[in-house]
Amino acid sequence: MSDVIQLLPDHVANQIAAGEVVQRPASVIKELLENAIDAQASVIQVVIKDAGKTQIQVVDNGLGMSLTDARMAFERHATSKIKAAEDLFSLKTKGFRGEALASIAAIAHVELKTKNEEGEIGTCIKIEGSEVISQDACVCKQGTSVSVKNLFYNIPARRNFLKSDAVETRHIIDEFQRVALAHPQINFSLFHNGSELFQLPETNLRQRITNIFGGKTNEKLVPVNEDTEIVEISGFVSKPEFAKKSRGEQFFFVNNRFIKSPYLNHAISAAFEGLLKERTYPGYFLYLNVDPKSIDINIHPTKTEIKFDDEHSLYAILRSAVKHSLGQFNVAPVLDFDRDSSLDTPYDYKDKGPEVPKVEVDKNFNPFKNEGGSSGGSGRQTHYSKKAPAASWESLYSGIKDQEFSGGNQLEQIEVESEEVSGSLFDKKEEEEKSTFQLQKKYIVSTLKSGILVIDQHRAHTRILYEEMLKNITISAAVSQQLLFPLKLQFSSNEIVMLKELKDSLEQTGFVFSALEKDFIEISGIPTLITESEVEILLEQLLSDFENEVPDNGFSQTDLMAKSLARSMAVKSGTILNNIEQQHIVNRLFACKEPSVNPSNKSVFVTLTVDELDKKFM
């Protein structure tokens, strides 16, 4: 048979890529705004017609492009922002994939006008469905203007999928506000069908928030500032008495990029605990600065989630920073009566009796022994023996026979109060067989016959839970635990619609809904695998995953749900695991159908064989 594989022509590849990058007009706005910011613009203007369906135009006064760059910008993987793979770990720009302009030009009529500082005259390029229609010289100021008309003109299915103008405009405003909040030092404006929606002058953060959310906002804001080694936090939370019935004004930015994180959101709720009226949510505008190396840069262009190296510590720092601010600004009782749960008896040990503490004696300790002594082992001994007199102590016992008292080893036979050296209060027998250990609170390291195995704890646990969930949803209904009091949670009407769609599958995993009303739900039973306090994060994460997922990319609802739940429920990196927990994960991982990758196809573990090690020592 003749060969059948061919490379896809560029315009087809671009159209496929566009499906990922451009979901709706708001995605185009986000990409164009980010390009303008990357080009160091100080004034950015957005003009839209019919919720962006007819036209979107973004004009900036940034660096602009040369004639050649203007043409190159529309090639796929054409970017000025990174040159080598290493650059990915020190990323300071919003873009880096070089995909946005190519994707947008594949599914719309695009006109680009641009001029850089050196250029005497500007360039104007027209592209329709990846095809360059014209490239001419034109008169324009320094900067760039991109106009995108008739979005999805060549993909009717996608065009039909767009929601009403009101809904699409809402999405655009959301994107616009997120970018504007991340960059108060840039002047932004937004016009829709000829009328001005926002005019935001260059200012500071407090004023930017006030300009967007209205004059009264200023007095509601409490500053939050915290500098630690792993994160710098700045921004504001709203005073508890101004908490809202909806979650609208909640913003996290990481390195100036808007993100959604139900997990970190929970940290804020925890900080506000006891200060809020029932079914209200605090507003917050929090800016986290972290080392770009400590986050996963491979953020999907349309997604707003991010993976941190140490989410667990971040949670704790954020919670205490917010709590501290609320206390300091007298909006919360200053005294904190919260118990420190790390001082509580671990659950597993609750019913075990304490053991009599033992006196710790180092049997090998010999204060008279020289450094080179044979009774080796403890560092303490070496330390003391350095100070021991240089003269041989044996000479003091010259009358005693050599074999009776010839060296340090003999001392071991002297009875000491306790044979076992143990300082632990609890019986730790189960933990004795240590074949695993934890590295950096992130990896589980285990030995194999042929080498060592390093497992990413979060990914491994996600894989385990994912397979379990899939089984529960598709085959057997899971068991659920009845809640003593039904849990009432507030959601927006959009979210309720989504929850209704997911209700059946959620019930298969163990959720029991006692009410699904217009703006709240009531849950009377939850899966046994989770605790009541996790329910809200879990559902929020689920909704945000469904909101983010491109609707026609072939993933079934069940699969997405299993993925989302597994990911939220899995142990986070940064969590300390005891030996039993580590081994539990290892054993269950290798009982999975596909232990080597997590549900998003990323590696769960790596191995290092003795052969490979040997090579390193050559």
Residues that bind ligand ADP (CB under 6 A): 31, 35-36, 38-39, 60, 62-65, 73, 78-81, 95-102, 144
Q: Which residue has the tokens 């928030």?
A: 209
User: Which residue's CB is nearer to Mg ion, number 258 or number 315?
Assistant: 258
User: Which residue's CB is nearer to ligand ADP, number 81 or number 307?
Assistant: 81
**In whole angstroms, what is the distance from residue 70 CA to residue 50 CA?**
28
Work out how close the CB of 95 gets to ligand ADP at its nearest, in angstroms, rounded to a whole number: 2
Work out how close the CB of 105 gets to ligand ADP at its nearest, in angstroms, rounded to a whole number: 9
Work out how close the CB of 144 gets to ligand ADP at its nearest, in angstroms, rounded to a whole number: 4
- For 399-462, the DSSP string reads TS-TTTS-SGGGGGGS--S-SS----SS--GGG----EEEETTTEEEEEETTEEEEEEHHHHHH
Work out how close the CB of 21 gets to ligand ADP at its nearest, in angstroms, rounded to a whole number: 9
| ∠ Cα 374 378 383 (to 5°) | 90
Work out how close the CB of 323 gets to Mg ion at its nearest, in angstroms, rounded to a whole number: 38
Q: Which residues contact 611 (CB under 8 A, 6 or more apart)?
A: 450, 451
Residue 73 touches which member of ligand ADP, Mg ion, none, C-beta under 5-8 Å by kind = ligand ADP
User: Which residue's CB is nearer to Mg ion, number 55 or number 93?
Assistant: 93
Task: Say whether 496 sits in a helix, a strand or coil.
Answer: helix
Angle between helices 457-474 and 579-589 in degrees, nearest 10: 50
Work out how close the CB of 292 gets to Mg ion at its nearest, in angstroms, rounded to a whole number: 17
Residue 127 touches which member of ligand ADP, Mg ion, none, C-beta under 5-8 Å by kind = none
- Which of 519, 521, 525 shows the shortest CA–CA distance to 485? 525
User: Which residue's CB is nearer to ligand ADP, number 23 or number 35?
Assistant: 35
Residue 363 touches which member of Mg ion, ligand ADP, none, C-beta under 5-8 Å by kind = none
User: Which residue's CB is nearer to ligand ADP, number 144 or number 582?
Assistant: 144
User: Which residue's CB is nearer to ligand ADP, number 94 or number 319?
Assistant: 94
Q: Which residues contact 66 (CB under 8 A, 6 or more apart)?
A: 116, 118, 119, 123
CB-closest chain residue to ligand ADP: 95
Work out how close the CB of 2 gets to ligand ADP at its nearest, in angstroms, rounded to a whole number: 37
DSSP-derived pairing of the beta strands 143-149 and 109-115: antiparallel
User: Which residue's CB is nearer to ligand ADP, number 35 or number 490?
Assistant: 35
CB-closest chain residue to Mg ion: 95
Phi-psi domain of 571 (left: phi exceeds 0; alpha: psi -120 through 50; beta: other): beta
User: Which residue's CB is nearer to Mg ion, number 35 or number 436?
Assistant: 35
Contact between residue 27 and residue 21 where contact means Cβ atoms under 8 Å apart? yes
Work out how close the CB of 60 gets to Mg ion at its nearest, in angstroms, rounded to a whole number: 12
User: Which residue's CB is nearer to ligand ADP, number 95 or number 510?
Assistant: 95
Work out how close the CB of 74 gets to Mg ion at its nearest, in angstroms, rounded to a whole number: 12
Residue 78 touches which member of ligand ADP, Mg ion, none, C-beta under 5-8 Å by kind = ligand ADP
User: Which residue's CB is nearer to ligand ADP, number 33 or number 237?
Assistant: 33
User: Which residue's CB is nearer to ligand ADP, number 19 or number 451?
Assistant: 19
**In whole angstroms, what is the distance from residue 496 CA to residue 520 CA?**
7
User: Which residue's CB is nearer to ligand ADP, number 36 or number 506?
Assistant: 36
**In whole angstroms, what is the distance from residue 143 CA to residue 126 CA?**
17
Residue 62 touches which member of Mg ion, ligand ADP, none, C-beta under 5-8 Å by kind = ligand ADP
Residue 545 touches which member of ligand ADP, Mg ion, none, C-beta under 5-8 Å by kind = none
User: Which residue's CB is nearer to ligand ADP, number 144 or number 472?
Assistant: 144
Q: How many CB atoms lie within 10 A of CB 449?
A: 6
Measured CA to CA in angstroms, residue 236 lies from 92, 189, 207, 335 at distances of 24, 23, 12, 21
Residue 585: is it exposed, middle or buried by C-beta count within 10 angstroms (0-12/13-18/19+)? buried
Q: Hey, which residues does 451 pair with through a beta bridge?
A: 448, 609
- Interface residues toward Mg ion, by CB under 5 A: 35, 95, 100
- For 293-328, the DSSP string reads GGB-----TT-----BTTHHHHHHHHHHHHHHHHHH
Q: Hey, which residues does 592 pair with through a beta bridge?
A: none
| Phi–psi pair at 210, nearest 5 degrees | -65, -40
Work out how close the CB of 34 gets to Mg ion at its nearest, in angstroms, rounded to a whole number: 5
Which amino acid type is present at position 159?
R
**In whole angstroms, what is the distance from residue 543 CA to residue 496 CA?**
9
Work out how close the CB of 37 gets to ligand ADP at its nearest, in angstroms, rounded to a whole number: 9
Work out how close the CB of 39 gets to Mg ion at its nearest, in angstroms, rounded to a whole number: 10
- Which of 211, 243, 205 shows the shortest CA–CA distance to 225? 205
Q: Hey, which residues does 275 pair with through a beta bridge?
A: none
Residue 306 touches which member of ligand ADP, Mg ion, none, C-beta under 5-8 Å by kind = none
Work out how close the CB of 11 gets to Mg ion at its nearest, in angstroms, rounded to a whole number: 20
Which two structure tokens, joined as six digits, stand for 434? Answer: 């240590």
Residue 79 touches which member of Mg ion, ligand ADP, none, C-beta under 5-8 Å by kind = ligand ADP
Measured CA to CA in angstroms, residue 422 lies from 76, 357, 432, 436, 469 at distances of 64, 8, 13, 21, 42
User: Which residue's CB is nearer to Mg ion, number 103 or number 123?
Assistant: 103
Work out how close the CB of 187 gets to ligand ADP at its nearest, in angstroms, rounded to a whole number: 15
Work out how close the CB of 82 gets to ligand ADP at its nearest, in angstroms, rounded to a whole number: 8
DSSP-derived pairing of the beta strands 195-200 and 187-192: antiparallel
**In whole angstroms, what is the distance from residue 114 CA to residue 80 CA?**
16
**In whole angstroms, what is the distance from residue 487 CA to residue 524 CA?**
6
User: Which residue's CB is nearer to ligand ADP, number 62 or number 373?
Assistant: 62
